[in-house]
Amino acid sequence: MNARELEQMLSSRQLPPFPQERLKRMEAAVIADLKPVRPLAPDGAYLAGLAAIFVAVCAMGAYFVGPQGWQALSVLRKIAVFLPLTAATALLVFSLVRQMRPAAKHARSSALLSAALFILLLLLIATFFQAAHETAFVRSGLVCFRTGMKFAIPAAFLFALLLHRGAALSPALTGAAAGGLAGLAGLAVLEIHCPNFNVYHIVVWHVAVTLACVAAGLVFSSVTFRRWTSNH
Amino acid sequence: MEASRETLPSAVLEQLMVGYQQADAVATTALIEELSPQLYHFFAAQLGNREDAADMLQEAWLRIHRVRHTYRAGEPLLPWVYAIARCVRVDSYRKRSRIAVREVAVEVLPEPAVASDARGVLPSFDQLIADLPASQREVLTLLKVNGLSLEEVAGATSSSVGSVKQKAHRAYERLRSLLQSPTAGKDSTI
């Protein structure tokens, strides 16, 4: 069988008859609930909104808890930490903007690339920071974790407020990405603030803020979506 | 490779969608009547079960209604609609899989006789594509049943045109090899 015959065969398909009575019922249900809706704002508005929240949270962190970490970091370490952090943040913002409406491209791939950059950040931290003995590893770590979460939670709330009208198709991905973005804001605040350069402290307690936010975003969005689908 | 679409031109559909967003009942009715048969065939071709396809069509319209504000005027409508339809199909598949795990089959029912081509030799479209991998079946359905362009299929499946072309090509190759096998047209599993 050649390509033309195959094409002809596929085109002469027999489609099943469409159930007209169900169509009428669906039409009636949709018409009964018909209200005007405001279309989503342009991508640029969401991009600017997400970026503004992120920068504002970092600035507030530097203002309220102090930039001791930033002041103590060498130029090389600043580049090693803040360059991949900024790139991962930018990609996550881009991914979230693309997730706002169905059929937008690169939503998933940019989120995956952002996760890859986050792993690169961990590798760079492991390379550029050394291990040091700490007498109060857990106590000082918990202080940092709480400080990071103090900024990540309001950021997550503001991101959710901005994103709640869109992102209806992949709630788990959107929740994880929004949580990740809030976690990156918390991590950025800690990197600006914390002068403890023990590699274990950074990898365990600073990074835990991001991971906790990703997990919380994933769980929250999944539960919310399940409730949403069961109510409709 | 593209089939002629048996619906209104894209620009008209997009205008109807804008009317739907503005609560225009006439535009909404026209849009539902225009898109529903195509969506139904999209579900039916992939599921092979018409009752399930009708249920999914209803679910798809509920979802479209709920997220109708996410459509932006001037953007292609069909990729937006089919992206939602795909999502409904995937969610439904997951739900059915969860239920199927809990159910215990007591008896295997005989398969109903499959309708063959009018000439009695060639298998039907549903039979033909049933043996394809899900991603190839989806692309072929969107191209051949729903008449979407390569660009529209790429938009609906959040992939590139190159990827769509590759899947369609592989689907064609596989169909050709299935049709050339001696059991083609007789065995209902192809």
> Number of H helices and number of E strands within chain A?
10, 0
Q: Smallest Cα–Cα separation from A103: which of B81, B138, B13, B69?
A: B81
Residue A48 neighbours by CB under 8 Å, 6+ apart: none
Query: Please, what sign has the CA dihedral across residues B139, B143, B147, B149?
Result: positive
| Predicted ipTM > 0.90 | no
**Long-range contacts, B114-121 (Cβ 8 Å, 24+):** B114/B188, B115/A14, B116/B185, B117/A14, B117/B185, B121/B185
Contact A183, A213 (CB under 8 A): yes
Q: State residue A19's pLDDT score.
A: 79
Q: What is the pLDDT of residues A166-185, one digit of tens each?
A: 877 888 899 999 999 999 99
The answer to whether residue A7 is domain-embedded is no
Which CA distances in Å does B115 have to A148, A162, B44, B172? Answer: 64, 52, 15, 22
Which residue from A minimizes the CA distance to B173? Answer: A3
CA dist., res. B66 & res. B117, Å (int): 40
CA A57 – CA A147 distance, rounded (Å): 12
Residue B99: the pLDDT is 73
Answer yes or no: is pLDDT of B187 > 50.
no
- Per-residue 3-state assignment (H helix, E strand, C coil) for chain B: CCCCCCCCCHHHHHHHHHHHHCCCHHHHHHHHHHHHHHHHHHHHHHHCCHHHHHHHHHHHHHHHHHCHHHCCCCCCHHHHHHHHHHHHHHHHHHHHHHHHHHCCCCCCCCCCCCCECCCCCCECHHHHHCCCCHHHHHHHHHHHHCCCCHHHHHHHCCCCHHHHHHHHHHHHHHHHHHHHCCCCCCCCCC
The residue in chain B having the minimum alpha-carbon distance to the alpha carbon of residue A7 is B1
The total domain count for chain A is: 1
Which DSSP letter does residue A35 get?
-
In a domain, A2, yes or no: no
**Residue B65 has what pLDDT?**
94
The more confident residue out of A190 and B108 is: A190
Which chain B residue has its CA at the smallest distance from A25's CA?
Answer: B58
- pLDDT reported for residue A88: 97
Q: Is B5 on the interface with A (CB under 8 A)?
A: no
Q: Which of A26, A31, A105 sits opposite B25 (nearest CB)?
A: A31
Q: Which of A7, A226, A121, A139 is nearest to B2 (CA)?
A: A7
| pLDDT at residue B121 greater than cutoff 60 | no
A26 and B36: CB-CB below 8 Å? yes
Return the percentage of chain B with pLDDT > 70, whole number: 76
Chain A positions in Cβ-Cβ contact with residue B25 (cut-off 8 Å): 31, 34
Residue of B nearest to A27 (CA): B29
pLDDT at residue A78 greater than cutoff 50: yes
**pLDDT tens digit string along B14-66?**
999 999 999 999 999 999 999 998 899 888 887 767 788 888 899 999 999 99
B189 touches chain A (CB under 8 A): no
A&B contacts, CB < 8 Å: 132
Residue of A nearest to B181 (CA): A1
Q: Where is average pLDDT lowest: A133-147, B10-24, B115-129?
A: B115-129
Say if A148 falls within a structural domain.
yes
State the pLDDT confidence band at B82, using cuts at 50, 70 and 90.
very high
Identify which of B3, B73, B124 has the shortest CB distance to residue A39: B73
Whether A142 maps to a domain, the answer reads yes
Task: Name the residue facing A165 among B69, B80, B87 (closest C-beta).
Answer: B69
In a domain, A139, yes or no: yes
Cβ separation B54–A22 shorter than 8 A: yes
Which residues are CB-contacts of B177 (< 8 A; sequence separation ≥ 6)?
none
Q: Tell me, rounded to whole angstroms, the distance of Cα B60 from its chain centroid.
A: 12
Question: A10 and B53 in contact by Cβ < 8 A?
Answer: no
CA B108 to chain A, closest CA, distance in angstroms equals 25
Chain A nearest-CA distance from B18, in A, is 9
Q: Which domain holds residue A206?
A: 43-230
Residues A84, A51 contacting (CB under 8 angstroms): no
Specify the range with the lowest mean pLDDT, choosing from A148-157, A178-187, B88-97: B88-97
In a domain, A133, yes or no: yes
Of chain A, the percentage scoring pLDDT greater than 90 comes to 72
Asked if residue A13 is part of any domain, the answer here is no
Average pLDDT, chain B: 79
Q: Looking at the domain assignment, is residue A17 inside a domain? A: no
pLDDT surpasses 70 at A218: yes
